[in-house]
Chain A
Amino acid sequence: MKIKYLKLDKIDGPLIMLSGVKHATYDEIVDIEVAGQKPKKGRVVQIDRDKVIIQVFESTTGISLTNSSVAFSGKPMQIPLSKDILGRVFNGIGEPIDGAGFYAENKYEIGGRPINPVGRKYPRNYIQTGISSIDGLTTLIRGQKLPIFSGDGLPHNQLAAQIVKQAKIAEADAGNSNTENFAIVFAAMGIKHDEAEYFKKQFELSGVSSRVVMYVNLADEPIVERITTPRCALTAAEYLAFEHDMHILVIMTNMTSYCEALREISSAREEVPSRKGYPGYLYSDLASLYERAGMIKNAKGSITQIPILTMPNDDIAHPVPDLTGFITEGQIILSRELFQKNINPPINILPSLSRLMKDGIGEGYTREDHPDVANQVFSAYSHVKDVRALAQVIGEDDISEIDRKYMEFGRQFEQKLLNQGFDTNRNIEQTLNLMWELLTVLPKEELNRLNPELIQKYYKG
């Protein structure tokens, strides 16, 4: 017989406090019954002798000090999982919200244990997204965590939808057809109703709905569930990847809302704030999510993460993008300037980076010339920026002839390569050929990042 505690000491935002508790374990789940409401769940976040602080999922609205009862379960939070989750929609604590019930024999803890670096497999194969700027210049690797840094109003959702629609796994280790062992786990944290609708519709239109699992916590839903949403999603991803050998693409949006939820709870707990009021453990907390991407030695599957975050005021030094960038393996940055020039997807390639790209491209993966040609395009485009700044001061007519060629390269690069729109799908061959075509705008002597053999083979200037 479980003991139920009937009297609370304090209710503060999402937290309740009670005393006289005999057995409480740190991080366990509690069941809360409130008169006249459906049962709620909560989690133990602090124990001080017999006083316990509990974070309540859903909301604390309607709870009084005397109208509720609390029972301790003795277990950390778990969600049921089976392969039937594909195609279903759940809320932030893993309950189905698409009208049907869900039952599975096995339950999994959502906290997730850290992967032993010895047990990891280094990610080495790429995912073709069909987007030239990503495939060619910031290649996405299977098992990578590559966030999209965006700003409010920029088309990150369209970009994410395009990736989901076009993503194809290069099957070097063939055998399985693409569609069967490839699935998407979608975690929505604090996004708007219409954004959620947009994603649902896009998944349907592109015919991937049956391969998508969604965990949704909308902007007006309880913030405590926002903390568990990505953890449920990643637990589902680990289950599919490591128990069923599937390749999983996890889209997590919006990480900024997630961090704000964390800050809200932290301040309710009266914790000492660090930068911009975010809790001191923000880095560790984000790492506990992002580090769940990867591949392990004793399973064939992989977890690739694309977290999406909006940079408040487009400031990349804000704690959320900053700490994210230190954990993730690169970043894809969207630019308001390109967006206003009507270049879509507006990926600013210079600050964008894929750290794992070097080991997953080139001979045997994409094409032998890929690393060098990408390098050359980066260096040429970064020179374009200098030339443009100069041309703005002295006028385009007065710059040297070679710099005029760079200006032309920059224009063509943006128009032809970046501006492919949200519906064009280019394979890697097409992307690389396009990059060579752009480089022909420049004379051979300028191509100092390319070795002469490659120039001979591909340069057609």
Chain B
Amino acid sequence: MDSIKAKVIYINGPVVKAENAESFKMREMVQIGRKKLIGEIISIEKDIATIQVYEETSGLEWGEEVVSTDKPLCVKLGPGIIGNIFDGIERPLDRLYETGTAFIPEGIGLITIDKEKLWDVEITVKAGDMLLPGSTYATVKESSLIVHKLMVPPAIKGKAVFVEKSGKYNIEHTVVKLEGGNDVYELKLYQEWPIRDPRPVSRRKPIQTPLITGQRVIDTFFPLAKGGTAAIPGGFGTGKTITQHQLAKWSDADIIVYVGCGERGNEITEVLEDFPKLIDPRSGKSLMERTVLIANTSNMPVAAREASIYTGITIAEYYRDMGYNIAIMADSTSRWAEALREISGRLEEMPAEEGYPAYLPSRLAQFYERASDVETLSGENGSVTIIGAVSPAGGDFSEPVTQNTKRVVSSFLALDKSLAYARHYPAINWLNSYSGYIADLSDWYEENVAKDMLELRAKMLRILQEENKLMEIVKLVGEDILPDDQRLILEISRVIKIGYLQQNAYHKDDANVSPQKQYRMLSVINKLYERALDCIKNGVPISHVKKDDLFYKITTMKYNVPEDRLKLLDAMIEEIDEYYDSLKCKYGKGECKL
């Protein structure tokens, strides 16, 4: 069948209309004009199709041809994805750079993962085997950390009638032929998948494991879950991107898909320069060995920005199907929503709230619902965790993107301007944030960290909330007027805030903290609180209870206790006991060890 050819009749930015297009299908990918710009059909009326174009339309002419490709917008899934950087429709940016210019040229057509590179393929099936959807027929060592399993695509099954020997092949090489029914399927080293369709799984499992991030405020207070969803909203300058970077660096997922959606070019460059140098604490290998970057910076074409998060999630799902735990960071979903709005505006659709199209909530929900902890088609366990940054206009959380996101995510890490102004990082507000996973994860914490971890968590949160209430009074009358036990709450809150919640992303012992160390640190603070409270109840004045250098030492323990010397924290507990024992003794209430 000849491909259908239509004619361009209307051009307005990224929106193009073509006539003579009655046989185009919705969401089909097309190539437009002499430069073969890539676009997607987004509506059809009579014989006129509306196309959103993923490249700059400058220079396009009325009457140019639109050629159908007869398939929806797809990504190629195969070895060569890990450690790579792609644009919003999976074109490798490093290959574009090798063409000789630091700028992105136009009309580059459809290139994706490397076709030439030879991979060491190990075939794991033999002729005559019956292969079902999702079963593995070969493996490739894609990076030092990732073994890439080549799986039979979801809709295909059959008997292997041809099996290639293990060896070095490029991705276009057919390694297995399957005979199923009347068809013969050729399996290469890749498969294609339409980005807007979730990949099928055998079943979804309930949430049960946290995604450990090494960030105290998250792991202790507002945990994320493998297969769960989280949103990080915050106005500009509150540290969304740095929080996302921290999560990408330190979370215990097997693979990180980082989608820079409409953000700054320099930030992507920073990731590109930093990540290869950073060492993953769990594997001892470079972080780039487990990272995929999708970059569509704010000045790249807006339609590709809309597609970029789907490209990212499809890649994540593909690796999930191999049995990996994936965390996908989308920075920022607001830019994606704005891309929707921009295209919707050009289509002259009726706007809903703040100019956003009425289908914004449903699109957001569809995206976040692709997060899951699953049993894959081949029976393995894998998960996709979505962590989306939200950039509310003016830092106002009542705007539509934040509100609609809030409805579909379970962890909400609210970034706060005033904390950021005081350089309290990560600027996650402990009063507005929440995590819906505490109940699901309590078993895990009890088994893997400590029995009383969640109790301590609740207690510290109570102290912080109490402090918030007391601060209202302090703002009116000053701190001196409060009774001593309440002043102690303020002092302990200060220790929690500075010594525990604040975390220095650039300090070697503080950037990433294990849950065990988090628990021990929390125990030290708890000990300090309990002993100090006990003294105050026995009439010791706060001026003595708050021993400056002891408090200072506890506040700075985060810098002075490396992961491999957690015993130092026990010493600190002893020191606390010693000081308050002697204090109590001095005031004649306790046992004196003289």
Contact = CB atoms under 8 A, between A and B. Distances in A.
Contact of B423 (A48, A50, A283, A375): A375
A118 B104 CA distance: 10
B545 to A, nearest CB: 16
Nearest to A111: B58
A114 B297 contact: yes
Given A119-B103, A322-B393, A394-B478, A382 B421 contact: yes
A39 interface: no
Interface residues of A, number: 85
B155 interface: no
Given A326-B236, A445-B552, A114 B62 contact: no
Given A272-B355, A317-B395, A379-B422, A120 B102 contact: yes
B269 A121 contact: yes
Interface string A1-40: 0000000000000000000010111111000000000000
Contacts of A375: 423
Contacts of A144: 266
B61 A281 contact: no
B477 A448 contact: no
A118 B94 contact: yes
Contact of A122 (B10, B62, B266, B349): B266
A108 interface: no
Interface string B50-87: 00000011111111000000000000000000000100
Interface in B459-505: 474-480, 498
A195 interface: no
A92 interface: no
B456 to A, nearest CB: 23
Contact of B555 (A113, A359, A448): A448
Nearest to B15: A46
Given A281-B345, A294-B265, A114 B103 contact: yes
Contact of B103 (A115, A325, A326): A115
Contact of A117 (B13, B235, B269, B302): B269
B298 A283 contact: yes
B564 interface: no
Interface string A136-149: 00000001100000
Nearest to A376: B423
B423 A46 contact: no
Interface string A77-113: 0000000000000000000000000000000000101
A284 B342 contact: yes
Contacts of B370: none
Contacts of A390: 474-475, 478
B341 interface: yes
B9 interface: yes
A101 to B, nearest CB: 29
B455 interface: no
Contacts of B105: 113
A66 B52 CA distance: 36
Interface stretch (A186-194, A209-217, A349-357): A349-357
B351 A272 contact: yes
A47 B269 contact: no
Contacts of A121: 269
A398 B235 CA distance: 36
Contacts of B183: none
Tell which of B302, B478, B559 has the most Cβ of chain A within 10 Å: B478
B383 interface: no
Interface in A277-295: 279-281, 283-284, 287-288, 290-292, 294
Contact of A298 (B11, B102, B260, B298): B102
A56 B393 CA distance: 33
B299 A284 contact: yes
B299 A114 contact: yes
A76 B298 contact: no
A143 B267 CA distance: 12
Contacts of A76: 58-59
Contacts of A399: 478
A448 B548 contact: no
B474 A117 contact: no
A50 B298 contact: no
B272 interface: yes
A353 B431 CA distance: 25
A117 B236 contact: no
B345 A27 contact: no
A114 B97 CA distance: 12
Tell which of B422, B506, B556 has the most Cβ of chain A within 10 Å: B422
Interface in A308-324: 316-319, 322-323
Tell which of B59, B265, B351, B474 has the most Cβ of chain A within 10 Å: B265
Contact of A49 (B62, B103, B265, B395): B62
B62 A24 contact: yes
B104 A116 contact: yes
A279 B345 contact: yes
A319 B269 CA distance: 27
Contacts of A331: 236-237
B96 A118 contact: yes
Given A118-B85, A398-B478, A399-B478, A275 B297 contact: no
Given A50-B62, A114-B297, A118-B85, A326 B266 contact: no
A272 B94 CA distance: 37
Interface residues of B, number: 80
A47 B11 contact: yes
A123 B266 CA distance: 8
Interface string A341-361: 000000000110101101100
A281 B106 CA distance: 21
Interface string B154-192: 000000000000000000000000000000000000000
Given A26-B58, A26-B59, A298-B102, A117 B295 contact: yes
Contact of B264 (A242, A296, A327, A393): A327
Contacts of B297: 114, 117, 287, 291
A271 interface: yes
Contacts of B59: 25-28, 76
A274 interface: yes
B533 interface: no
B388 interface: no
A424 interface: no
Given A116-B103, A272-B351, A291 B299 contact: yes
Contacts of B57: 26-27
Interface in A188-243: 242
Contact of A271 (B58, B262, B345): B345
Contacts of A437: none
A115 B93 CA distance: 11
Nearest to A315: B394
A379 B338 CA distance: 35
Contacts of A322: 236, 393-394
A448 B498 contact: yes
Interface of A: 21, 23-28, 45-50, 76, 111, 113-123, 143-144, 242, 271-275, 279-281, 283-284, 287-288, 290-292, 294, 296-299, 316-319, 322-323, 325-327, 329-331, 350-351, 353, 355-356, 358-359, 371, 375, 378-379, 382-383, 389-390, 393-394, 398-400, 445, 448-449, 451
Given A119-B101, A280-B341, 6 more contacts: A117-B269, A120-B269, A283-B342, A290-B299, A291-B265, A448-B556
Interface of B: 9-13, 56-63, 85, 93-94, 96-97, 101-106, 235-237, 260, 262, 264-266, 268-270, 272-273, 295, 297-300, 302, 335, 338, 341-342, 344-346, 348-349, 351, 354-355, 391, 393-396, 417, 420-423, 474-480, 498, 506, 548-549, 552, 555-556, 559
Q: What 9 A-B pairs have minimum CB-CB distances, sorted nearest first?
A: A317-B394, A119-B102, A274-B355, A287-B298, A280-B345, A113-B103, A325-B236, A296-B102, A291-B299
13 contacts: A23-B62, A25-B60, A114-B104, A115-B265, A117-B272, A272-B345, A274-B341, A291-B298, A296-B102, A350-B421, A382-B421, A389-B475, A390-B475
